[in-house]
Structure 1
Amino acid sequence: MRAPEGDRYPHLAKIIIILIIVILLPGCGVTPQVMAQDRLFLDLSLDFLGEYQLPPQEWENTRVGGLSGLTYDRTRGKLLAISDDRSYFAPARFYTLNININETPILEKVTVEGVTFLRNPQGETYPLGTIDAEGIALSPRQSVYISSEGVPKNNIAPFIQEYDIDTGKLQSSLRIPERYLTGIAENQGFESLTLSPNSLAPGDPFRLFTATEFSLIQDTANPPQESDPIRMMHYVINTIGEPILVAEHLYLLDPAPYDDTFKHGLSELIALEREGYFLSLERTLSLSGFGAKIFQIVIANATDTSGIVNLSGDLAGIQPIRKKLLLDLEELDLELDNLEGMTLGPRLPDGTQSLILVSDDNFKEEQVTQFLLFRFRQN
């Protein structure tokens, strides 16, 4: 029996209709397919709002400088800044800073309001050359955690310790694995330090994260790899019992941007409210000056590297921390200094979040203590 005229080519008609739909869809505003890698990251943005340079000064018989880490105390509305002075100009210390952000918003002024000296296990200030404090993070129990790179050439070990925020008295210490005690190179230790922002009550457990600035000695490949491997540590801290190191993950440092680079490393981490998400700050020094990049990083599905003796070989079987460039600060119309500290600061007048960076002037007259203010959006 002969098919009716309208049904003679049913399959051909369907194919033609599908082709027409496929051709027309892109012009109808349909969102293109998003790659799985892109879906992993949050929709974040940074807007640069300005710079403030802290004038050279002394405060309570200390030389203000070497600011290498920041944390924001929301209850007091103050910044806390650790100085990496190895007790040379004054005993090891952190400063309390007031920040004035106007309605524009512009960072109008930063003023020093206090200084707190750190106390060692003997209850004394740290003697000359026995500490190299680099990172600082405020805990929910109103104490501060501070990381020291140590001084390997003098057999002084790196540490992460908790101090009373008002007196600087030592309260507790984290146990550092032996591979760090023997593997951190000079001035390449625990530069970064951050706590999870989700614990608010003093009795709540919280998470602490830190990473070495550069590869451990045993992780350094010869010949060098394109991306140097860094270990990022993840602790859980409870009110009862010892802090627990629950995982380590591989962070791959971006390749040095210039052939004449002689200082390159991870200088800061910030834990975001979304668990497993962070900002990282990579800092570079070359003959042409300082550079810095801010990345969004995600530790989801990253391999736990705590059982891997060294990372100097083939890393193909290891899933590293994923990272995405958020901002190359060299694109700003600004001469950068030695940016090392970074923190989420107060809310801006429009309700958005602020991000504040600070530079370590190395106590050199040709450098400055530079504060940079950004609007940080989680879209």
Structure 2
Amino acid sequence: MNHRRLTTVAAVASVALLAAPSAAQAHGHGAGLPRLSLVDTISVPAGGTQLGTPFGGLSGIDYDARTGTYTAISDDRSALAPARWYSLRLPLDRTGFAATAPRVTGVTTLRGADGAPFANGTVDPESIRLAGRDRLLWTSEGAASTGLAPTIREASGDGAFRRDYRLPAAYLPAANRGVRNNLAFEALTLSADGRSIVAATEAALAQDGPIATLDAGTGARVLVLDRSSGRTRAEYVYRTEAIPAAPTDPANPYADRGLTELLALNDTDYLAVERSFAGGVGFTVQVFWTTTRGATNAAGRDALTGRERVMPKRLLLDLNATGTQVDNVEGITWGPRLPNGDRSLVLVADDNFNSFTQFHLLRVANR
């Protein structure tokens, strides 16, 4: 999602943070919630090129432990270059990232069902997940303002179209219903068993309720599809927090908050990234644990009733509380094991082609 915004500053120092206390029985088999801490951050100024394309707009990221390579999708709507994803490396040393910028090793053009690259304005890539050898899943927000529907698609490793997944009618943009413009499928993950695609809107569907305000969050829909048949398995409601601060810049009075990414922990539990922005204030980024356990399965409902039990959640990390400069974080993935054996997470911030692409390295501890 693109924002009207202030330009952020460049360099950030790495700091550590102890996350919120854990809740028993929440993650894994009887273990507590994971504790997240920030290890390191690198920032890449906008305006550079990689392999003949403007580098930026990174809105989704996934890691292949087999090759040590990340796949990061750009939300360029084929305006600056054809819609694409990048292959890149982020090597680590004992203290964090081993370089001040990623090493880009490839760029892959996304193609439609006709085999051609997407024309300008016909696609808005937002999230991407590896789905086995030579298979990737990716989302497009579409453009509700012009009636262009969002999509969940499968591609081959060379970017070729393989299939579209059919969406429930409730998501299709129309008058006063469906996804809102620029607030569609920001989030995408695969279930732990690989059999389900889990995608989420950034904010409530138009018929479900309002977008986030300073007083209340918004009810994003979490859609679970059978990866093989494409049938809807479930729908849940994830409620974001309220916008934390009012805009202070009269020239940029915009403010919002939404769900920008999900990452499966197991068959019921996820990490959820919430991102908010206010003109003159900047970005707020928080990572939550959330689960479908105890939430209402609202599959097939054209509109929510407001009585649905939302997905329980718990704050794990407030990135702003670390003291680092926070930008437009829209992607999260597992990373490699750290030298001490702990798992890592990598967050990516979309620079909107006018700020900084950021990569945040997090430590995951379950003790």
Aligned to 1:328: 318
Give, in whole Å, the separation in 2 of the partners of 1:222 and 1:335. 26
Give, in whole Å, the separation in 2 of the partners of 1:351 and 1:140. 25
Aligned to 1:117: 109
1:152 shift after superposition:
1.7
Instruction: Say if 1:249 and 1:320, in contact at 8 Å, map to a contact too.
Output: yes
1:266 shift after superposition:
0.4
1:277 shift after superposition:
0.8
Give, in whole Å, the separation in 2 of the partners of 1:117 and 1:106. 28
Give, in whole Å, the separation in 2 of the partners of 1:207 and 1:55. 36
The residue type paired with residue 185 of structure 2 is F
Matched residue SS, 2:320: helix
Aligned to 1:245: 232
Aligned to 1:76: 67
1:67 shift after superposition:
0.3
What is the CA deviation profile of residues 130-151 of structure 1, one whole-angstrom value per residue up to 9, with x for unaligned ones? 0000000000243110100001
Instruction: Say if 2:327 and 2:358, in contact at 8 Å, map to a contact too.
Output: yes
When residues 78 and 176 of structure 1 are mapped into structure 2, their CA distance, relative to the original with a 3 A threshold, is same
- Confirm whether residue 129 of structure 1 aligns to residue 121 of structure 2: yes
- Confirm whether residue 377 of structure 1 aligns to residue 346 of structure 2: no
- Confirm whether residue 257 of structure 1 aligns to residue 250 of structure 2: no
Give, in whole Å, the separation in 2 of the partners of 1:194 and 1:335. 27
1:173 shift after superposition:
1.2
What is the CA deviation profile of residues 286-316 of structure 1, one whole-angstrom value per residue up to 9, with x for unaligned ones? 12111100000011121111233323x5x3x
The residue type paired with residue 196 of structure 1 is S
Instruction: Say if 1:107 and 1:373, in contact at 8 Å, map to a contact too.
Output: no
Give, in whole Å, the separation in 2 of the partners of 1:151 and 1:81. 21
Instruction: Say if 2:196 and 2:224, in contact at 8 Å, map to a contact too.
Output: yes
Give, in whole Å, the separation in 2 of the partners of 1:222 and 1:111. 38
When residues 247 and 222 of structure 1 are mapped into structure 2, their CA distance, relative to the original with a 3 A threshold, is closer
Instruction: Say if 2:90 and 2:97, in contact at 8 Å, map to a contact too.
Output: no
Q: TM-score, length-normalised on structure 2?
A: 0.85
Aligned to 1:6: none
When residues 340 and 107 of structure 1 are mapped into structure 2, their CA distance, relative to the original with a 3 A threshold, is farther
Give, in whole Å, the separation in 1 of the partners of 2:338 and 2:319. 21
Give the total of aligned pairs: 327
Q: Select the residue among 303, 310, 332 that pairs with 1:342.
A: 332
- Confirm whether residue 63 of structure 1 aligns to residue 70 of structure 2: no
The residue type paired with residue 283 of structure 1 is R
Instruction: Say if 1:294 and 1:326, in contact at 8 Å, map to a contact too.
Output: yes
Q: Give matches, 1:90-239, under 5 Å.
A: 90-108=81-99, 109-165=101-157, 167-182=158-173, 183-199=178-194, 206-221=195-210, 226-238=216-228
Unaligned ranges ≥5, structure 1: 1-36, 200-205
Unaligned ranges ≥5, structure 2: 1-22, 248-253
1:332 shift after superposition:
1.0
1:259 shift after superposition:
2.7
1:264 shift after superposition:
1.1
What is the CA deviation profile of residues 304-353 of structure 1, one whole-angstrom value per residue up to 9, with x for unaligned ones? 11233323x5x3x3221110000111101111111111111111122211
Give, in whole Å, the separation in 1 of the partners of 2:239 and 2:94. 39
Matched residue SS, 1:302: coil
- Confirm whether residue 361 of structure 1 aligns to residue 351 of structure 2: yes
Give, in whole Å, the separation in 1 of the partners of 2:206 and 2:24. 33
What is the CA deviation profile of residues 183-218 of structure 1, one whole-angstrom value per residue up to 9, with x for unaligned ones? 11110000011112444xxxxxx2211100011111
CA RMSD of aligned residues (A): 1.9
Matched residue SS, 1:175: coil
When residues 222 and 135 of structure 1 are mapped into structure 2, their CA distance, relative to the original with a 3 A threshold, is closer
When residues 107 and 337 of structure 1 are mapped into structure 2, their CA distance, relative to the original with a 3 A threshold, is farther
The residue type paired with residue 347 of structure 1 is R
When residues 221 and 157 of structure 1 are mapped into structure 2, their CA distance, relative to the original with a 3 A threshold, is closer
Aligned to 1:277: 269
Percent same amino acid at aligned positions?
Answer: 35
Runs (4+) of structure 1 moved beyond 6 Å? 222-225
Q: TM-score, length-normalised on structure 1?
A: 0.82
Instruction: Say if 1:51 and 1:107, in contact at 8 Å, map to a contact too.
Output: no
Structure exhibiting the larger radius of gyration computed from Cα positions: 1
Give, in whole Å, the separation in 2 of the partners of 1:118 and 1:71. 16
Q: Give matches, 1:15-30, under 5 Å.
A: none
Instruction: Say if 1:270 and 1:342, in contact at 8 Å, map to a contact too.
Output: yes
When residues 120 and 304 of structure 1 are mapped into structure 2, their CA distance, relative to the original with a 3 A threshold, is same
What is the CA deviation profile of residues 140-187 of structure 1, one whole-angstrom value per residue up to 9, with x for unaligned ones? 24311010000122221110000011x100011111111111211110
Instruction: Say if 2:96 and 2:361, in contact at 8 Å, map to a contact too.
Output: no
